[in-house]
C-alpha cells in the first residue's frame, strides 16, 4: 500500500501552479478573453440608441468587477426594447453570447451567435459585421476550434481595415489570434500579435487593454525563457508583470480585477519558482501580492478559481520552509473553499489539491490519511470526467450544427452559382435560337440534304460497327476456347505428374525399406538371408510395377478426401495402407510390401475403420472405393 501511495508525485501541485503563469493560461486566457469582450462604441455609437449606449457603459463597469449576473440581467432587459435597431441587437446579443459561454451555457451562447450572424446580413455597418465575426471567433475559441478562431478574427479585421477609430475592436480580434498561438506555444507568432494588440491598446488609451498587453508580453517572455533559459527573458517577464500590477494600482476602477489577480498570482509564482533571493524575503514579498489578490477575491470582483492558485503558492512556500503541517493546512483551506462553492467547474482544481495532500501525507508518513485523500481524489476525478463528458457532448453537438450549417451555406452558394450559370446559358440559347431560325429559312434545303446523307452515313457506320463487333466477339470466343483447351491439357498433365509422384514415392519408400533390411542382414553376417531377400524382391518387382500403374490411376484428391473424412488424424502410414487397400491388394501382398505379418495388416485395417468412424459391419475396401470415385 505504501509503495502504491508513493507513486503519487508532488509535481501535480507544481504543474497546477505553473498554470498561473501566462504560458500555461489556457483556462485563464479564455477568462481574459471574456473580460476583453467589451463592446466597442466609437464609430458605431452614432448608429445606436442612447439607451443602448448607456447599457454598454454599465456593462463595461460590471465586466471589470466580475459582476456577470448583473451584466446578463441588464442585457436581457435592454433586448426587450422594441426600438432596438439591427446594430443594437448585434451589439447586445454578441455581448450576451460571451456571458453565456462564460457560465458554460454553450447551447444558449451558440444560438445567440447564430442570431448575430444572421442579423449581420441585414446591416451595412462594417463594425457590426466585424462584431458578429468577433462573437463567432470567441465561440470557436471556447469550442477549441483554433483554425476557425483565426479565420473569423481575420475576417473581422478585414472589414475594419479602412475604418478609423475602432482600436478596441481591432485589439480584441488580434488578441483572439494571439491566444490561439499562445495555446500552440508559438513564440514568434505570439510576439507578432501581442505587439499589434499593444499598438491598438495604446491608441485607445484604455488602461485595461494596456494591462492585458503587459500580461501577454510577460507570457511571451516566460515562454521564451522556458525554451532558451536566458535570464534577460525572465527579467522582461517580471518587468511586464510589474507594469500591469502598477496600472491596476493607478487605475483600480478601469482595470479588470481578474487581470489584477492573475498578475498578482504570476508575480508570486515568479518569486516562488525563479527568484534567487533568500526564501523568507521571497515569501514576504509573494504574500504581499497574494494578499492584494485576496482583497479582490473576497469582494467577489475576480474569478473564484484563483483561490486555489493562492493557497497552492502559500503551501509551496510552507513546504520550502519545511513546515508540512502549515502546507497541509493551506491545502485543506483551499478544499474547504471549493466545497463551499459547489461549482462543477472547480472539480479539476479540487482534484489537484487532493493529489497534493496525498503527497504531503506521504512525506509526513501518514499513509492512512494519504489513502483517504487518494480515494477522495479518485472520486472527484470521476465526477470531473463525467462533467467533462457532458461538456464535450455539448461542444460536439454545437460543432456538428456549425458544420451542418456550413455545408448548407456551401450548398446554397453552389446552387445560386449554378442557377446564375443556368440563366446565362438559357439567355445564350435563346439568342442562338433566334439566330438559328433566321438562318434556317436560308439553308433549309441544304440541311435536309445533309441530314439524309448523314443518316445514310450513320446507318453504314452502325452496320460496320456491328459487323466489327461480331467479328471481335467470334475471335474472343475462339481465343477463350483455345485457352480453355490449354488449361485442360495442363490440368491433365498436372494430375498425371501427381499420380506418378505418388507411385514413385511408394517405390522409393519400399526400396529404402529393402536397403535397410539388406544392411541388417549384412550386419548379422549370413549371406544366405541376403540372397533369400533378393529373391523375394525379384518376385515382388512385377507386383510393384502393377501397383505403380494402379496408383497412377488414383484420383489426385484421393488423400485429401481421406483426411477430410477421417475423425482422427491420419499418419503417412495410414495413407499408404489406404492406397494399397484401394488398389484391392490382398492382405498377403500388403504384408509382403510392408514386410509385416498378415495379422498386423488385419489389425491395421481394424484401426483404420475406427479412425474413419465406420461401424463394424462396414467394409473398409468398399468405403475407400467410394472415396476414390
Which class for 440: exposed (0-12), middle (13-18), buried (19 or more C-beta within 10 A)? exposed
Please state, in angstroms and rounded to a whole number, the distance separating the CA atoms of residues 310 and 318. Answer: 13
Q: Per the structure block, which three cell numbers stand in for 461?
A: 457506320
278 DSSP assignment: -
Range with top average pLDDT, 39-43, 119-123, 543-547: 119-123
The rounded distance, in Å, linking the Cα atoms of 110 and 86 is 19
pLDDT for position 264:
93
Residue of 198, 285, 269, 186 whose CA lies nearest to 234: 269
What value does the mean pLDDT take over residues 515-519? 71
Q: What pLDDT is stored for residue 4 in this prediction?
A: 30
- Name the more confident of 622 and 502: 622
Most confident of 486-490, 502-506, 526-530: 486-490
pLDDT at residue 361, rounded to an integer? 80
- Name every residue whose Cβ is closer than 8 Å to that of residue 197 and which is 6 or more positions away in sequence: 171, 174, 175, 178, 209, 212, 213, 216
The DSSP letter of residue 571 is: P
Give residue-wise pLDDT tens across range 160-210: 888 888 888 899 999 999 989 888 888 888 889 899 998 988 998 889 999
Highest-pLDDT range among 34-38, 139-143, 600-604: 600-604
Percentage of residues in the chain having pLDDT higher than 90: 8
Q: pLDDT exceeding 70 applies to what percent of the chain? A: 76
The average pLDDT across 331-346 equals 75
Per-residue DSSP letters for 14-36? Answer: HHHHHTTSGGG-HHHHHHHHHHT
364-375 average pLDDT score: 78
8 Å CB contact between 214 and 240: yes
Q: 362 pLDDT band (50/70/90 cuts)?
A: confident
Segment 533-569, tens digit of pLDDT: 665 565 555 555 555 556 555 566 777 888 888 888 8
Query: What local confidence, expressed as pLDDT, does residue 184 receive?
Result: 87
590 pLDDT tier (thresholds 50, 70, 90): confident
39/30 Cα distance (integer angstroms): 17
More confident residue, 31 or 261: 261
Give domain limits for the chain. Answer: 41-163
pLDDT in tens, 383-416: 666 666 665 665 566 666 666 666 665 676 667 7
**Whether pLDDT at 504 is above 80:** no
| 502 pLDDT above the threshold of 80 | no
pLDDT for res 30: 47
Contact 578, 601 (CB under 8 A): no
pTM of the model: 0.56
pLDDT, residue 536, reads: 59
CA dist., res. 314 & res. 433, Å (int):
88
Residue 468 or 66, more confident: 468
d(CA 100, CA 2): 46
pLDDT score recorded for residue 38: 43
| Residue 276: band (very low, low, confident or very high) from pLDDT cuts 50, 70, 90 | confident
Please report the pLDDT score of residue 165 as a whole number.
82
Average pLDDT over residues 42-55: 62
pLDDT at 263: 93
Q: How confident is the model at residue 266 (pLDDT cuts 50, 70, 90)?
A: very high
Q: Which residue in this structure is represented by grid cell 474413419?
A: 612
Q: How confident is the model at residue 469 (pLDDT cuts 50, 70, 90)?
A: confident
pLDDT in tens, 410-447: 676 667 777 777 777 777 777 877 877 777 767 777 77
CA gap 476, 472 in Å, rounded:
6
* pLDDT higher at 606 or 42: 606
Neighbours of 50 (CB within 10 A): 8
Give the separation between CA 472 and CA 574, rounded to whole angstroms. Answer: 55
Query: Quick check: 47 pLDDT over 70?
Result: no
218-221's contacts with Cβ under 8 Å and 24+ in sequence apart are 218/22, 218/244, 218/266, 219/21, 219/22, 219/23, 219/25, 219/182, 219/190, 219/194, 220/187, 220/190, 220/191, 220/194
CATH topology classification for 41-163: 1.25.40
Are 137 and 156 contacting, i.e. CB atoms less than 8 angstroms apart? yes
* CA gap 440, 321 in Å, rounded: 105
**pLDDT at residue 76, rounded to an integer:** 83
pLDDT given at position 14: 36
Say what the pLDDT of residue 21 is: 37
Write down the mean pLDDT value for the chain: 78
pLDDT at 278: 92
| Angstrom distance (rounded) from CA 577 to CA 590 | 8
422: Cα separation from own chain's centroid: 41
Select the more confidently predicted residue: 286 or 501: 286
Amino acid at each position: 500500500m505504501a509503495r502504491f501511495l508513493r507513486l503519487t508525485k508532488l509535481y501535480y501541485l507544481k504543474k497546477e501552479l505553473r498554470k498561473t503563469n501566462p504560458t500555461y493560461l489556457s483556462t485563464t486566457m479564455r477568462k481574459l478573453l471574456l473580460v476583453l469582450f467589451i463592446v466597442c462604441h466609437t464609430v458605431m455609437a452614432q448608429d445606436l440608441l442612447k439607451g443602448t449606449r448607456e447599457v454598454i457603459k454599465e456593462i463595461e463597469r460590471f465586466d471589470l468587477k466580475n459582476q456577470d449576473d448583473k451584466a446578463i440581467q441588464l442585457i436581457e432587459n435592454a433586448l426587450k426594447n422594441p426600438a432596438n435597431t439591427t446594430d443594437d441587437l448585434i451589439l447586445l446579443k454578441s455581448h450576451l453570447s460571451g456571458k453565456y459561454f462564460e457560465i458554460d451555457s454553450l447551447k444558449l451562447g451558440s444560438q445567440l451567435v447564430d442570431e448575430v450572424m444572421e442579423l449581420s446580413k441585414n446591416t451595412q455597418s462594417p463594425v457590426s459585421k466585424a462584431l458578429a465575426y468577433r462573437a463567432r471567433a470567441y465561440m470557436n475559441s471556447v469550442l477549441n476550434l483554433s483554425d476557425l478562431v483565426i479565420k473569423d478574427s481575420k475576417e473581422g479585421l478585414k472589414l475594419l481595415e479602412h475604418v478609423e477609430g475602432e482600436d478596441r475592436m481591432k485589439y480584441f480580434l488580434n488578441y483572439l489570434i494571439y491566444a490561439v498561438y499562445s495555446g500552440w506555444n508559438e513564440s514568434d507568432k505570439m510576439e507578432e500579435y501581442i505587439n499589434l494588440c499593444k499598438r491598438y491598446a495604446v491608441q485607445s488609451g484604455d488602461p485595461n487593454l494596456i494591462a492585458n498587453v503587459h500580461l501577454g508580453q510577460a507570457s511571451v517572455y516566460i515562454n521564451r525563457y522556458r525554451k532558451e533559459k536566458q535570464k534577460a527573458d525572465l527579467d522582461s517577464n517580471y518587468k511586464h508583470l510589474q507594469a500591469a500590477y502598477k496600472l491596476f494600482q493607478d487605475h483600480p476602477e478601469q482595470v479588470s480585477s481578474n487581470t489584477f489577480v492573475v498578475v498578482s498570482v504570476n508575480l508570486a509564482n515568479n518569486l516562488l519558482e525563479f527568484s534567487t533571493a533568500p526564501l523568507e524575503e521571497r515569501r514576504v514579498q509573494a504574500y504581499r501580492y497574494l494578499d492584494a489578490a485576496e482583497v479582490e477575491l473576497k469582494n467577489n470582483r475576480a474569478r473564484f478559481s484563483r483561490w486555489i492558485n493562492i493557497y497552492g503558492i502559500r503551501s509551496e512556500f510552507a513546504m520550502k520552509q519545511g513546515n508540512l503541517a502549515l502546507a497541509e493546512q493551506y491545502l485543506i483551506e483551499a478544499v474547504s473553499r471549493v466545497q463551499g462553492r459547489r461549482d462543477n467547474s472547480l472539480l479539476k482544481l479540487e482534484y489537484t489539491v487532493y493529489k497534493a495532500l496525498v503527497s504531503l501525507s506521504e512525506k509526513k508518513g501518514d499513509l492512512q490519511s494519504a489513502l483517504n485523500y487518494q480515494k477522495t481524489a479518485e472520486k472527484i476525478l470521476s465526477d470531473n470526467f463525467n462533467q467533462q463528458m457532458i461538456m464535450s457532448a455539448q461542444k460536439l453537438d454545437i460543432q456538428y450544427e456549425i458544420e451542418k450549417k456550413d455545408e448548407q451555406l456551401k450548398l446554397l452558394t453552389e446552387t445560386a452559382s449554378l442557377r446564375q450559370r443556368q440563366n446565362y446559358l438559357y439567355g445564350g440559347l435563346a439568342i442562338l435560337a433566334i439566330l438559328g431560325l433566321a438562318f434556317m429559312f436560308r439553308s433549309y434545303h441544304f440541311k435536309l440534304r445533309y441530314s439524309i446523307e448523314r443518316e445514310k452515313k450513320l446507318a453504314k457506320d452502325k452496320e460496320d460497327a456491328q459487323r466489327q463487333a461480331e467479328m471481335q466477339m467470334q475471335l474472343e470466343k475462339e481465343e477463350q476456347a483455345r485457352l480453355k483447351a490449354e488449361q485442360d491439357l495442363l490440368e491433365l498433365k498436372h494430375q498425371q505428374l501427381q499420380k506418378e509422384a505418388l507411385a514413385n514415392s511408394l517405390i522409393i519408400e519400399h526400396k529404402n525399406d529393402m536397403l535397410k533390411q539388406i544392411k541388417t542382414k549384412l550386419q548379422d553376417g549370413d549371406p544366405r538371408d541376403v540372397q533369400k531377400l533378393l529373391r523375394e524382391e525379384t518376385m515382388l518387382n512385377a507386383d510393384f510395377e502393377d501397383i505403380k500403374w494402379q496408383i497412377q490411376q488414383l484420383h489426385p484428391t484421393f488423400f485429401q478426401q481421406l483426411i477430410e473424412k477421417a475423425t482422427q488424424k491420419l499418419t503417412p502410414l495410414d495413407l499408404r495402407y489406404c492406397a494399397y487397400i484401394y488398389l484391392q491388394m490382398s492382405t498377403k501382398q500388403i504384408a509382403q510390401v510392408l514386410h509385416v505379418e498378415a495379422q498386423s495388416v488385419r489389425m491395421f485395417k481394424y484401426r483404420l475403420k475406427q479412425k474413419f468412424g465406420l461401424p463394424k459391419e462396414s467394409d473398409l475396401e468398399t468405403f475407400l472405393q467410394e472415396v476414390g470415385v
